[in-house]
Amino acid sequence: MSDVRLCPICDTDLTYSYDAEFAENYPGLVCRNCDEKAVNTEGQTPKEHPDDDGENPIFIDSQQCWRRHRFGGHVTMVDPDNCGSLQEFYDRQSHRT
């Protein structure tokens, strides 16, 4: 059984927003309630993009985050290192495991 994962912004149990197995695939995954507070660099609601890159980075409570757009939706992940790109974020996360 998986350990409980918490939203890195509000400490909510992520199983309220996502299946636990799904949540394990995304480092720094935020809950849906925090995700709804996201803004782009201009302080506006980020636009949805059908491609994988989307409008990045985004910010939640002044914390830099990255979004992955796929399967008609998106996931949002907190970036504790303030990386310069989504790829750099993934590279840093892979070295932590």
**Residue reference for tokens 């830099």:** 64
Please indicate whether residue 11 or residue 18 has the higher confidence score (pLDDT). 11
Question: Any residues with CB less than 8 A from the CB of 74 and at least 6 apart, and which?
Answer: 48, 54, 67, 68
Give residue 79's domain range.
Answer: 14-96
pLDDT surpasses 70 at 96? no
Q: How many residues does the chain have?
A: 97
Q: What pLDDT does 60 receive?
A: 98
Question: 2 lies in a domain?
Answer: no
Q: How many domains does the chain have?
A: 1
Q: Are 46 and 34 in contact (CB under 8 A)?
A: no
Tell me the pLDDT tens digit for each residue of 33-91. 999 999 999 999 998 776 666 789 999 999 999 998 777 778 899 999 999 998 999 89
Task: Report if residue 7 sits inside a domain.
Answer: no
- Tell me, yes or no, whether 1 lies in a domain: no
Question: In this structure, are residues 67 and 56 in contact, taking their beta carbons and an 8 Å threshold?
Answer: yes
Confidence grade of residue 1 (pLDDT, cut at 50, 70, 90):
very low
CA dihedral of residues 41, 47, 53, 56 (deg, nearest 10) = 10
Task: Tell me whether residue 9 is in a domain.
Answer: no
